Amino acid sequence: MAASTDPRVLVINSGSSSLKFQLLAPADGTVEATGIVERVGQGQGNAAIEAGERESSFEGPVPDHKEAMKIVERLFGEVGLSLSDDRIRAVGHRVVQGGARYSNPVLIDEQVRWDIHDLGKLAPLHNYAAVDGIDGAQALLPDVPHVAVFDTAFFTALPEAAANYALNREIAKQYRVRRYGAHGTSHQFVSQAVSSHLASQGRDVSDLRQVVMHLGNGASASAVRGGEAVETSMGLTPLEGLVMGTRTGDIDPTIYIHLHRQAGFGPEEIDDILNKRSGMMGMCGMNDFRDITAAVEAGDEAATLAMDVYVHRLRKYLGSYSFVLGSLDVIAFTAGIGENVPMVREKLLTGLERFGIELDLEANAARSKEMRVISTPESEVTVMIVPTDEELSIARQASEVARQLAG
């Protein structure tokens, strides 16, 4: 538990229609306040904060992310905290798209702000919201460094063979079409946690080969060798790759053209279908795995098929990433589904003994919030569950940039 006088970092995560915030101590991850503003830009919004025993909430219009920050300030006041608190040494902003350029967290100056806005062409749902969140936070906390932590940063060093689409070279260059990935903060945090854990047990981790599965509402897989990402499943946007809560993941791009020609859908409608009305929700009408697993156990046909499609996609990625890596030492699961749904892990990994993967079914079924191994001692591949903590990672990176500035 951090001392009450220890430095704090405010972490801001501006999503397309929400703004999540957390005030925490980067030294040990103690969370002092956490909350969310929801339905930003959608008429009637709502917000809530929790700070230890104290709570507060808000209902009313939240026209944009700048206004959302004012609501955050108000909620802080209502639980006896203040954004003018001089323990707050930095603000860390999660930014989804940093392009090919931003491979590290950076202090947000005019140029960086402009670049984040410009990269909104690649991530319109997220980067414009992030700029508004930054503007709103800078107005309220003008005297502390604001740091952008990019979701794409961990993947800027992907090998060219993995980062390029086989698209016409000139067109790809002109429109900056390449595979940027996403969830990088989580993939980096989890793969580093795995390495440190195994190193502490005396394993040589200099060339450790991992597949990290971040399975939340958004989902992505990465292949990491010796701490460097060599593949990842999200591409130009977070739509590519695994089956997700409401996104298709990989599809034949011609489906887009087919829907346009046959159904007359325009780009906005197709974007909506692929990103918000597909995936698990589109296949079985549910995207919470608590409901989906219960439906599968009850024999529901649509849920069973959706689960089969979900797991089949994971298997294809696990297999292909093992080959990209040349061999496999670790499979690490993280995020809401990765950490909490034994059925997904069991269906994915059963029958892969021939490839050195032996799941310990009892350990897999056990509930815990701790990092843990769920493979048998004989398994050549170590299977782990590693709770992700993107806020802590962002707080630590922002704090480090602030420390370098001060020093």
Binding site for ligand ADP (CB under 6 A): 216-218, 245, 287-290, 335-337, 340-341
Q: List the 372-373 sheet strands across, edge first.
A: 228-232, 219-225, 209-215, 330-334, 382-385, 372-373
Taking the complex as a whole, the smallest distance from the CB of residue 187 to ligand ADP amounts, in Å, to 13
DSSP 8-state code for residue 285: S
Distance (Å, whole) CA 13 – CA 58: 18
Distance (Å, whole) CA 12 – CA 144: 14
Nearer to ligand ADP, 341 or 402 (CB): 341
Nearer to ligand ADP, 101 or 276 (CB): 276
Taking the complex as a whole, the smallest distance from the CB of residue 386 to ligand ADP amounts, in Å, to 13
Taking the complex as a whole, the smallest distance from the CB of residue 23 to ligand ADP amounts, in Å, to 19
Distance (Å, whole) CA 348 – CA 359: 10
The tokens describing 170, both together, are 């000139």
Nearer to ligand ADP, 178 or 183 (CB): 183
* Buried/exposed code over 154-183 (b: 16+ C-beta within 10 A; e: otherwise): bbbebeeebbeeeeeeeeeeeeebbbbbbb
DSSP string of 330-354?
Answer: EEEEEHHHHHH-HHHHHHHHTT-GG
The number of helix segments (H) and strand segments (E) in the chain equals 15, 14
User: Could you say which of 151, 300, 329, 389 is catalytic?
Assistant: 151
SS3 of 376, please?
coil
Alpha-helix runs per DSSP H in 141-183: 160-163, 169-174
Taking the complex as a whole, the smallest distance from the CB of residue 214 to ligand ADP amounts, in Å, to 8
Annotated catalytic residue 271: no
Residue with tokens 């297999």: 319
Instruction: Give, in order, the Cα–Cα distances in Å from 82 to each of 23, 34, 38, 90, 140.
Output: 11, 13, 21, 14, 10
Taking the complex as a whole, the smallest distance from the CB of residue 252 to ligand ADP amounts, in Å, to 25
Given the DSSP bridges, would you call strands 330-334 and 88-95 parallel, antiparallel or unpaired? unpaired
Residue with tokens 């029958």: 351
Distance (Å, whole) CA 36 – CA 211: 31
Q: How far is CA 351 from the centre of its chain?
A: 29
SS3 of 245, please?
coil
Nearer to ligand ADP, 36 or 90 (CB): 36
Taking the complex as a whole, the smallest distance from the CB of residue 202 to ligand ADP amounts, in Å, to 32
Nearer to ligand ADP, 171 or 294 (CB): 294
Taking the complex as a whole, the smallest distance from the CB of residue 92 to ligand ADP amounts, in Å, to 17
Nearer to ligand ADP, 379 or 393 (CB): 393
Of 200, 229, 242, give the one whose Cα is nearest residue 338.
Answer: 242
Q: Minimal CB distance to ligand ADP: which residue?
A: 336
The residues carrying an active-site annotation are 151
